């Protein structure tokens, strides 16, 4: 049942406010694609356009190679899971799950109160539907809950019922709009596992909207990051983490966030941090201010610093189980904070108030120009300030 999804030059504006501009996106059959971005970046609107709940101003949506722009959500054969689950509160879990099939297979008079009892084939169809509900309920382990109303279910249980309602139609696309954000932290981690497992088992195409980069990183095969209504980057979780295309992507992906240090490129093309060369060179003909991005785990601290190194003062140390996070202030301007992640078992004495030298491997550094675009770097043979 897996289908591909293609978006070509999708644009949307509400009134004068542009929400999406020229989004091009192709999702392969069976993929788990996350749409991430800060709130207001247009990711939910894009999902609603794919679902057919919202109409794009320009561009085309194709599901399984077929244009669906003029089709209703029902005709697109998609299923959607909402942030608030959107279960019908007056219906039991079983009735909620049955609704899409009821609408599909019974005519309007057969569904109306009172009149429906006149139909002869209704009983037979309802029996078939209830056996299908049984199968889906078994797969999601919600059989004991089927008779209950949504009001009598916990958040996690409602989530499962909403998933069952989505699954029962065997849709070509699963659309999920922040489905885990109303759950508590522990349950969220658990449901993350379950959704990944469900995706593996069904082999269906999932489009998953979230503002939580950890969800996107852990679950998806690919991530599309939106920023200000534009596609900022699309790629595997590793791509976005290791080669962020822009400062925005670099800042959004990764927790704790990447360290961004103001630097400049001298006329020879060397990247200079403060007054010290970093061992990095910028592309040809590039000079002026740049931003240097360093992931917390790529920074090394040196207590004995006889070499010329940028210096930082330790403010506090946080225990995170397997890791330790060190918060430092860069010595040159006290404004720039720095976060360093080190394994808990790493030896070394880290005292607040002490000053350390900062080192990093040049190939792990990210360089961005003044408009936030990624720059290629090349390490110089002479490494200054690099980890030994």
Partner 1 sequence: MTTLALAPAIDRVPQRSRPVREWLAGTLFVVPATMLLLAIIIAPLLCLLILSMTDYEIGAMQIRWLGLGNFEKALSDPVFRRAMGNTLLYVALVLPGGVILGLLVALLVHGRTRSRAFYEVAYFLPVTATLIAMAAVWQFLLHPKLGPVNGLLKAAGFPEMGFISEPSLLIPTLAVIGLWNLIGFNMILFLAGLTAIPRDLYDAAEIDGAGGPIDRFLTVTWPQLAPTTMFVAVTTSITAFKVFDTVAVLTRGRDGSEVLLYAIYLEGFQYFKIGYSAALTVIFLAFMLAFSVFQAFQLDRRVHY
**Does 114 help bind partner 1 (rule: CB under 8 A)?**
no
Q: Which is nearer to partner 1, 71 or 198 (CB)?
A: 71
Contact 94, 136 (CB under 8 A): no
**Does 112 help bind partner 1 (rule: CB under 8 A)?**
yes
Q: Which is nearer to partner 1, 51 or 280 (CB)?
A: 51
Tokens 């002026």 appear where? 288
Q: Which is nearer to partner 1, 24 or 104 (CB)?
A: 104
Rule CB under 8 A: choose which of 15, 89, 353, 381 binds partner 1.
89
**Does 79 help bind partner 1 (rule: CB under 8 A)?**
yes
Percent of the chain as helix, strand, coil, to the nearest 5: 30, 35, 40
**Does 127 help bind partner 1 (rule: CB under 8 A)?**
no
**Does 108 help bind partner 1 (rule: CB under 8 A)?**
yes
Shortest reach from residue 134's CB to partner 1, in Å: 19
**Does 304 help bind partner 1 (rule: CB under 8 A)?**
no
3-class DSSP assignment, residue 65: coil
Contact 233, 244 (CB under 8 A): yes
Shortest reach from residue 296's CB to partner 1, in Å: 38
Rule CB under 8 A: choose which of 5, 23, 78, 290 binds partner 1.
78
Q: What span, in angstroms and rounded, lies between the C-alpha atoms of 215 and 39?
A: 15
Residues 136-195 that bind partner 1 (CB under 8 A): 149, 151, 165
Q: What span, in angstroms and rounded, lies between the C-alpha atoms of 96 and 161?
A: 8
The residue range among 88-96, 191-199, 205-213, 357-365 that interacts with partner 1, by the rule CB under 8 A, is: 88-96
Q: At what angle do helices 122-140 and 155-167 cross, to 10 degrees?
A: 130
Query: Please, is 155 exposed, middle or buried when counting C-beta atoms within 10 Å of its C-beta (0-12, 13-18, 19+)?
Result: middle
Q: What span, in angstroms and rounded, lies between the C-alpha atoms of 387 and 65?
A: 51
3-class DSSP assignment, residue 277: strand
**Does 88 help bind partner 1 (rule: CB under 8 A)?**
yes
Q: Which is nearer to partner 1, 70 or 284 (CB)?
A: 70
Q: Could you give the string, one character per residue 14-53, with x where binding to partner 1 holds by CB under 8 A and - elsewhere?
A: ----------------------------------x--xxx
Q: At what angle do helices 155-167 and 185-202 cross, to 10 degrees?
A: 20
- Alpha helices of the chain — where are they, by DSSP H? 43-51, 93-105, 108-111, 122-140, 155-167, 185-202, 213-219, 237-242, 247-252
Rule CB under 8 A: choose which of 24, 28, 69, 104 binds partner 1.
104
Rule CB under 8 A: choose which of 16, 17, 39, 113 binds partner 1.
113
Shortest reach from residue 136's CB to partner 1, in Å: 14
Shortest reach from residue 51's CB to partner 1, in Å: 6
Q: What span, in angstroms and rounded, lies between the C-alpha atoms of 331 and 342?
A: 20
Question: Cβ neighbours of residue 230 under 8 Å, at least 6 residues apart?
Answer: 21, 22, 23
The distance from CA 37 to its chain's CA centroid, rounded to whole angstroms, is 7
Rule CB under 8 A: choose which of 15, 17, 72, 201 binds partner 1.
72
**Does 103 help bind partner 1 (rule: CB under 8 A)?**
yes
Buried b (16+ CB within 10 A) or exposed e, 301-327: bbeebeeebbbbebeeeeeeeebbebb
**Does 100 help bind partner 1 (rule: CB under 8 A)?**
yes
Q: Which is nearer to partner 1, 95 or 332 (CB)?
A: 95
Rule CB under 8 A: choose which of 74, 135, 315, 378 binds partner 1.
74
Positions in the binding site for partner 1 (CB under 8 A): 48, 51-53, 72-74, 78-80, 82-84, 86-90, 99-100, 103-104, 108, 111-113, 149, 151, 165
């Amino acid at each position: 049942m897996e289908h591909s999804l293609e978006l070509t030059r999708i644009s949307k504006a509400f009134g004068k406010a542009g929400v999406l501009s020229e989004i091009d996106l192709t999702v392969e059959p069976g993929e788990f694609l996350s749409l991430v971005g800060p709130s207001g970046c247009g990711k939910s609107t894009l999902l609603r356009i794919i679902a057919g709940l919202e109409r794009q101003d320009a561009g085309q949506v194709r599901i399984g190679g077929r244009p669906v722009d003029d089709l209703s959500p029902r005709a697109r054969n998609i299923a959607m899971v909402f942030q608030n689950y959107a279960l019908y509160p007056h219906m039991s879990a079983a009735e909620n799950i049955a609704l899409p099939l009821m609408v599909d297979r019974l005519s309007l008079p057969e569904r109306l109160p009172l009149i429906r009892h006149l139909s002869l084939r209704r009983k037979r169809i309802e029996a078939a539907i209830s056996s299908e509900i049984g199968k889906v309920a078994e797969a999601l382990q919600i059989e004991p809950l089927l008779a209950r109303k949504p009001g009598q279910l916990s958040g996690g249980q409602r989530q499962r019922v909403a998933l069952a309602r989505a699954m029962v139609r065997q849709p070509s696309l699963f659309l999920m709009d922040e489905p885990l954000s109303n759950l508590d932290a522990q349950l969220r981690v658990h449901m993350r596992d379950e959704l990944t497992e469900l995706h593996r088992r069904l082999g269906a195409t999932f489009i998953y909207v979230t503002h939580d980069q950890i969800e996107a990183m852990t679950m998806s095969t690919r991530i599309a990051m939106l920023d200000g209504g534009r596609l900022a980057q699309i790629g595997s979780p590793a791509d976005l983490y290791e080669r962020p295309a822009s400062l925005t992507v670099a800042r959004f992906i990764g927790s704790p966030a990447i360290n961004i240090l103001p630097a400049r490129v001298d006329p020879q093309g060397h990247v200079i941090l403060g007054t010290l060369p970093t061992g990095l060179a910028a592309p040809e003909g590039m000079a002026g201010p740049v931003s240097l991005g360093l992931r917390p785990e790529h920074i090394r601290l040196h207590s004995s610093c006889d070499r010329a190194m940028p210096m930082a003062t330790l403010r506090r140390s946080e225990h995170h189980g397997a890791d330790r996070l060190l918060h430092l202030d860069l010595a040159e301007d006290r404004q720039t904070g720095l976060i360093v992640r080190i394994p808990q078992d790493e030896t070394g004495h880290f005292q607040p108030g002490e000053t350390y030298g900062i080192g990093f491997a040049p190939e792990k550094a990210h360089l961005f120009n003044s408009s936030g675009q990624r720059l290629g770097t090349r390490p110089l043979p002479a490494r200054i300030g690099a980890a030994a």
